[in-house]
């Protein structure tokens, strides 16, 4: 019986191994070479040279800074706003499902499509500046894409708009797991709404917070699509992210070995953050 | 009942998954891991010489001038004269044709005939050697050598850039076409003083466009004047990017932007947007390529003129970008592929003329091929009469080409310089990046 049930795991395990494990191991091995990505070219082992280069690469350092900026801004925002929306939409009402759908909709749209739409909104001659001019707020018009600091903030806003609905859904599911009798007991004890939130809701949704925060961190550390379409990492290198840098090194500079080293570095960074966060969450979880 | 429905759903999913994994009817062959050459998507077929039908694939791209109908016209003409060779267009997508080609090569799907193959040609074994008899038709100056081999077919020379200007805005500001650097800077300041934005350019989504024109017209001109073998000297370490000529020119350009001589929205525009805004009169001048002249002529635009950007030292030179076609080394019908290249690139004079005329390019055959040009394109060509031809540093092909990736790095760097980066530090970074990419 046990052997038969293991057989059912084989297809998924094979797909997982072929599409995930083997490429990860391949990237790890390539990170110790100077391969340029062409089958015709030899693969030469260079030891840890690529990893040493990571520490002196100014362009990569800038990309790490941009990625961390986007990650911190988006992770904090989507989790706070997502939780607030979940609290508001937790109780069923006439329009609850409609609003849940509206907030979730951006997540299901194609990232590239929404990037182009936002570009037409944020461009200097786009919808936003035109509307600001039309209502007499010309002083607020600006270059939301071509100016470096504005561009990073624009990317953060688009990403927050896109992901909040998804995190709202995670928190909604978490809120459903909080036992109603605890709320009843706290009401009897005279707790107000804020006290209920901090002493009943929050401790009981720590697993949901863990999942939501972890997923948002992983997602934002791999940010690429919106940056590529809206700013192409520009102006210059000022909105390049780590993933953008990986792809540039691999396909633009023909430095597949070095780009693999950056990818391994990103993998280790994400894994470390995940382990730290799970450890913290385990301590905060209500048993 | 539930069990039956579940089983049916499972089989349905399994069936659709297996259908998705099935290979397509086209004859794409996977790249062999031990085979040193890339494979192609053309149908294995007998030699065209024997009269049996063969098919070759041709990688092309889309622009305002190079439309699907444009390429199809060339294919139709060739197939009419060569009925046993079929040509299938493959559209190169994305904003980087070299990267698209590299992706296709990695997937074993490199088309048989490639337009814009220069980056890949640096890798040995990707493109087939061009028959010597075919190369005899072309100017010696455009024959490219990679690792001692000639593996690219010369296609055309692009005349690169000049300053396009609005005659109406010039007249309103009371300025005329400048012929010296001092006149040029006076024109810029006068336009600004009269409330007209002097320049417009494009930003991040078309990174090549930001510095385009100023780089070719001023910096390239001055560098080639001072260092006639700049590329060779740079690669040998005899000259550096961090030199007074480049620094001075970039600081001037940066100051223009800081002083508001560029349209405020420039850095958020795509190239298409900036062109459209220029034609609407948002700025008096735009550095743009030779390809715009035939497009403007087609729309019978009489307001736009063009002039060669003067240089600080007064040197009068211009650069051209040679372009090539390549035949994949893995092509199973090389004879047919080279026959197609030869037909389009000079073999059929009318078709070659049609190809050149599409984007306003110049021929590279020993016997020049000319064509009728409109008013703006004629002006563009006439402006170069007393100018000397020099190489374009970032577009040199062959053994003195800059390392792969440097041109993109330079274009992005020009954007950071325009918006205020420290020029001296940035130029030192250029030298560091060159060394890194060469290693």
Average pLDDT over residues B155-168: 95
Same domain flag for B171 and B268: yes
Contact B204 A232 (CB under 8 A): yes
What are the Cα distances from residue B115, in Å, to B57, B96, B120, B328, B333? 11, 12, 11, 11, 17
Structural element, H or E, at residue B87:
strand B85-91
Q: Is residue B34 part of a domain?
A: no
CA nearest B272: which of B95, B114, B97? B95
Give the pLDDT confidence of B363-376 residue by residue, as tens digits. Answer: 999 999 999 999 99
Give the pLDDT confidence of A32-72 residue by residue, as tens digits. Answer: 999 988 887 889 999 999 999 999 999 999 999 999 999 99
Contact A235 B421 (CB under 8 A): no
Structural domains in chain A, sorted by start = 35-284 (1.10.3720.10)
pLDDT at B213 over 90: yes
Would you state the pLDDT for residue B33? Answer: 32
pLDDT at B40 over 80: no
Contact A253 B437 (CB under 8 A): yes
Give the pLDDT confidence of B61-87 residue by residue, as tens digits. Answer: 998 889 999 999 999 999 999 999 999
Contact A146 B99 (CB under 8 A): no
Buried b (16+ CB within 10 A) or exposed e, B339-367: bbbbbbbbbbeebbbbbbbbbbbbbbbee
Would you state the pLDDT for residue B99? Answer: 84
ipTM of this complex:
0.86
* Tokens describing residue B384: 């170069």
> Residues of A with CB below 8 A from B210's CB?
235
Average pLDDT over residues B312-332: 94
Would you state the pLDDT for residue B2? Answer: 67
User: Among residues B359, B375, B391, which one ends one of the domains?
Assistant: B375
> Residues of A with CB below 8 A from B31's CB?
39
Contact A125 B265 (CB under 8 A): yes
Would you state the pLDDT for residue B173? Answer: 96
How does DSSP assign A203-267, residue by residue?
Answer: HHTHHHHHHHHHHHHHHHHT--HHHHHHTTT-STTTT--HHHHHHIIIIIS--HHHHHHHHHHHH
CA nearest B285: which of B262, B267, B266? B262
User: Among residues B335, B352, B375, which one ends one of the domains?
Assistant: B375
Q: Is residue B363 part of a domain?
A: yes
Percentage of the residues of chain B whose pLDDT score is greater than 90: 74
Contact B95 A232 (CB under 8 A): yes
Percentage of the residues of chain A whose pLDDT score is greater than 70: 98
Q: Is residue B32 part of a domain?
A: no
Percentage of the residues of chain A whose pLDDT score is greater than 90: 78
Contact A125 B31 (CB under 8 A): no
- Domain containing residue B172: 161-320+381-438
A96: distance to nearest CA of chain B, Å? Answer: 32
| Domains: count for chain B | 2
Average pLDDT over residues B222-250: 95
Buried b (16+ CB within 10 A) or exposed e, B130-157: beeebbebbeeebbbebeeebbbbbbbb
**Residues 204-233 of chain B whose Cβ lies under 8 A from any Cβ of chain A:** 204-205, 207, 210
Searching chain B, which residue's CA lies closest to the CA of residue A35? B439
Cα B356 to Cα B376: distance, rounded to the nearest angstrom: 16
Looking at the complex, does the CB of residue B124 fall below 8 Å from at least one CB of chain A? yes
pLDDT at B22 over 70: no
**Residues 55-84 of chain B whose Cβ lies under 8 A from any Cβ of chain A:** none
Give the pLDDT confidence of B93-130 residue by residue, as tens digits. Answer: 877 888 889 889 988 999 999 998 988 898 888 999 99
Same domain flag for B276 and B424: yes
Looking at the complex, does the CB of residue A149 fall below 8 Å from at least one CB of chain B? no
Q: Residue A262's pLDDT band (boundaries 50, 70, 90)? A: very high
Same domain flag for B413 and B279: yes
Q: Is residue B5 part of a domain?
A: no
Lowest mean pLDDT among A193-207, B47-61, B153-167, B340-354: B47-61
Average pLDDT over residues B401-426: 94
Same domain flag for B223 and B277: yes
A143: distance to nearest CA of chain B, Å? Answer: 6
Searching chain A, which residue's CA lies closest to the CA of residue B34? A39
Same domain flag for B82 and B206: no
Contact B269 A146 (CB under 8 A): yes
Give the pLDDT confidence of A108-143 residue by residue, as tens digits. Answer: 999 999 999 999 999 999 999 999 999 999 999 999
**Average predicted confidence (pLDDT) for chain B:** 89
Give the pLDDT confidence of B276-306 residue by residue, as tens digits. Answer: 999 999 999 999 999 999 999 999 999 999 9
Cα B199 to Cα B76: distance, rounded to the nearest angstrom: 42
DSSP one-letter code for B63: -
Cα A207 to Cα A164: distance, rounded to the nearest angstrom: 18
Q: Which of B125, B414, B429 sits opposite A40 (nearest CB)?
A: B125
Looking at the complex, does the CB of residue B8 fall below 8 Å from at least one CB of chain A? no
Same domain flag for B341 and B408: no
* 3-state SS class at B389: strand
Same domain flag for B126 and B267: no
Q: Residue B90's pLDDT band (boundaries 50, 70, 90)? A: very high
Looking at the complex, does the CB of residue B236 fall below 8 Å from at least one CB of chain A? no
A199: distance to nearest CA of chain B, Å? Answer: 44
Beta bridge partner(s), residue B20: none
Same domain flag for B240 and B280: yes
Contact B416 A123 (CB under 8 A): no
Q: Is residue B20 part of a domain?
A: no
Helix A206-221 and helix A148-176, axial crossing angle in degrees, nearest 10: 150
* Tokens describing residue B14: 């399994």
Same domain flag for B77 and B225: no
Same domain flag for B227 and B309: yes
* Tokens describing residue A115: 């990037």
Q: Residue B51's pLDDT band (boundaries 50, 70, 90)? A: low
Would you state the pLDDT for residue A2? Answer: 61
Q: Which of A38, A229, A248 sits opposite B123 (nearest CB)?
A: A38
Beta bridge partner(s), residue A82: none
Q: What share of chain A is helix, strand, coil (3-state, %, to 5)?
A: 75, 0, 25
Q: Is residue B36 part of a domain?
A: no
Same domain flag for B232 and B337: no
B431: distance to nearest CA of chain A, Å? Answer: 13
Q: Is residue B256 part of a domain?
A: yes
Would you state the pLDDT for residue B93? Answer: 87
Contact A252 B405 (CB under 8 A): yes
Q: Residue A91's pLDDT band (boundaries 50, 70, 90)? A: confident
Average pLDDT over residues A239-254: 93
Q: Is residue B9 part of a domain?
A: no
**Average predicted confidence (pLDDT) for chain A:** 92
User: How many residue contacts between A and B have a Cβ separation below 8 Å?
Assistant: 118
- Which positions ≥6 away from B208 have C-beta within 8 Å? B271, B411
> Residues of B with CB below 8 A from A235's CB?
203-204, 210, 267, 415-416, 418-419
User: Among residues B375, B390, B405, which one ends one of the domains?
Assistant: B375
Looking at the complex, does the CB of residue A225 fall below 8 Å from at least one CB of chain B? no
**pTM of the predicted model over 0.90:** no
Contact A147 B96 (CB under 8 A): no
Same domain flag for B246 and B309: yes
Contact B265 A236 (CB under 8 A): no
Contact B268 A122 (CB under 8 A): yes
What CATH number has the domain bearing residue B386?
3.40.190.10
Contact A235 B266 (CB under 8 A): no
Looking at the complex, does the CB of residue B422 fall below 8 Å from at least one CB of chain A? no
Contact A119 B205 (CB under 8 A): yes
Cα A232 to Cα B203: distance, rounded to the nearest angstrom: 9
Structural element, H or E, at residue B167:
helix B167-173
Would you state the pLDDT for residue A19? Answer: 93
Give the pLDDT confidence of A211-229 residue by residue, as tens digits. Answer: 999 999 999 999 999 999 9
């Amino acid at each position: 019986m046990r052997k038969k049930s293991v057989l059912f795991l084989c297809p998924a395990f094979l797909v997982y191994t072929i599409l995930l494990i083997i490429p990860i191991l391949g990237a790890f091995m390539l990170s110790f070479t100077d391969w340029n990505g062409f089958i015709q070219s030899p693969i030469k082992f260079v030891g840890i040279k690529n990893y040493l280069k990571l520490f002196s690469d100014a362009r990569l350092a800038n990309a790490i800074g941009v990625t961390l900026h986007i990650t911190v801004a988006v992770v904090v925002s989507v989790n706070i706003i997502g939780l607030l929306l979940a609290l508001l939409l937790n109780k069923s009402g006439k329009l609850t499902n409609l609003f849940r759908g509206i907030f979730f909709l951006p997540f299901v749209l194609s990232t590239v499509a929404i990037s182009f739409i936002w570009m037409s909104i944020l461009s200097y001659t786009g919808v936003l500046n035109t509307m600001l001019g039309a209502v007499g707020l010309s002083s607020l018009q600006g270059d939301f894409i071509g100016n470096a600091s504005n561009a990073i903030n624009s990317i953060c806003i688009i990403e927050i708009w896109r992901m909040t609905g998804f995190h709202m859904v995670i928190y909604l599911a978490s809120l459903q797991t909080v036992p109603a009798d605890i709320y009843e007991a706290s009401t009897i004890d005279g707790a107000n709404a804020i006290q209920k939130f901090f002493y009943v809701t929050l401790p009981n949704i720590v697993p949901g917070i863990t999942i939501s925060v972890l997923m948002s961190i992983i997602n934002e550390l791999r940010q690429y699509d919106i940056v590529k379409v809206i700013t192409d990492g520009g102006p210059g290198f000022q909105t390049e992210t780590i993933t953008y840098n990986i792809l540039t090194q691999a396909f633009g500079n023909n430095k597949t070995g070095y780009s693999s080293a950056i990818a391994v570095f990103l993998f280790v960074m994400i894994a470390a953050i995940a382990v730290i966060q799970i450890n913290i969450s385990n301590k905060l979880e209500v048993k | 009942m539930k069990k039956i429905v579940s089983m049916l759903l499972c089989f349905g999913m399994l069936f659709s998954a297996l259908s998705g994994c099935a290979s397509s009817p086209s004859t794409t062959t996977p790249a062999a891991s031990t085979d040193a050459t890339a494979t192609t998507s053309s149908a294995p077929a007998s030699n065209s010489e024997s009269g049996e039908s063969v098919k070759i694939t041709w990688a092309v791209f889309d622009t305002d001038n190079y439309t699907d109908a444009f390429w199809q016209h060339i294919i139709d003409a060739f197939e009419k004269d060569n009925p046993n060779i079929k040509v299938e267009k493959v559209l190169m997508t994305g904003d980087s044709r070299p990267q698209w080609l590299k992706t296709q090569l990695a997937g074993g799907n490199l088309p048989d005939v490639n337009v814009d193959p220069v980056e890949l040609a640096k890798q040995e074994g990707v493109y087939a050697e061009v028959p010597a008899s075919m190369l005899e038709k072309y100017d010696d100056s455009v024959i490219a050598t990679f690792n001692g081999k000639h593996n690219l077919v010369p296609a055309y020379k692009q005349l690169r850039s000049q300053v396009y200007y609005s005659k109406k805005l010039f007249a309103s500001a009371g300025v005329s076409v400048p012929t010296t650097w001092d006149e040029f800077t006076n024109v810029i300041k006068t336009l600004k003083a009269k409330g007209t934005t002097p320049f417009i350019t494009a930003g991040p989504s078309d990174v090549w466009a930001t510095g385009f024109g100023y780089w070719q017209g001023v910096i390239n001109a001055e560098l080639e004047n001072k260092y006639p073998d700049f590329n060779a000297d740079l690669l040998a370490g005899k000259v550096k990017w961090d030199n007074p000529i480049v620094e001075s020119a970039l600081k001037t350009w940066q100051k223009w932007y800081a002083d508001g001589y560029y349209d405020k929205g420039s850095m958020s525009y795509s190239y298409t947007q900036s062109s459209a805004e220029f034609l609407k009169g948002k700025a008096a001048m735009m550095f743009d390529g030779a390809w715009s002249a035939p497009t403007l002529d087609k729309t019978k635009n009489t307001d736009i003129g063009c002039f060669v950007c003067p240089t600080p030292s007064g040197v009068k030179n211009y650069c051209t970008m040679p372009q090539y076609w390549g035949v994949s080394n893995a092509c199973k019908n090389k004879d047919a592929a080279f026959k197609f290249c030869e037909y389009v690139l000079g073999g059929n004079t009318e078709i070659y003329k049609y190809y050149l005329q599409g984007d306003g390019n110049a021929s590279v055959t020993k016997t020049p091929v000319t064509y009728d040009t409109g008013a703006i394109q004629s002006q563009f060509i006439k402006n170069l009469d007393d100018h000397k031809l020099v190489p374009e540093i970032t577009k040199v092909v062959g053994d003195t080409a800059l390392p792969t990736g440097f041109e993109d790095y330079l274009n992005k760097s020009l954007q950071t310089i325009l918006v205020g980066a420290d020029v001296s530090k940035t130029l030192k970074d250029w030298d560091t990046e060159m060394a890194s990419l060469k290693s």
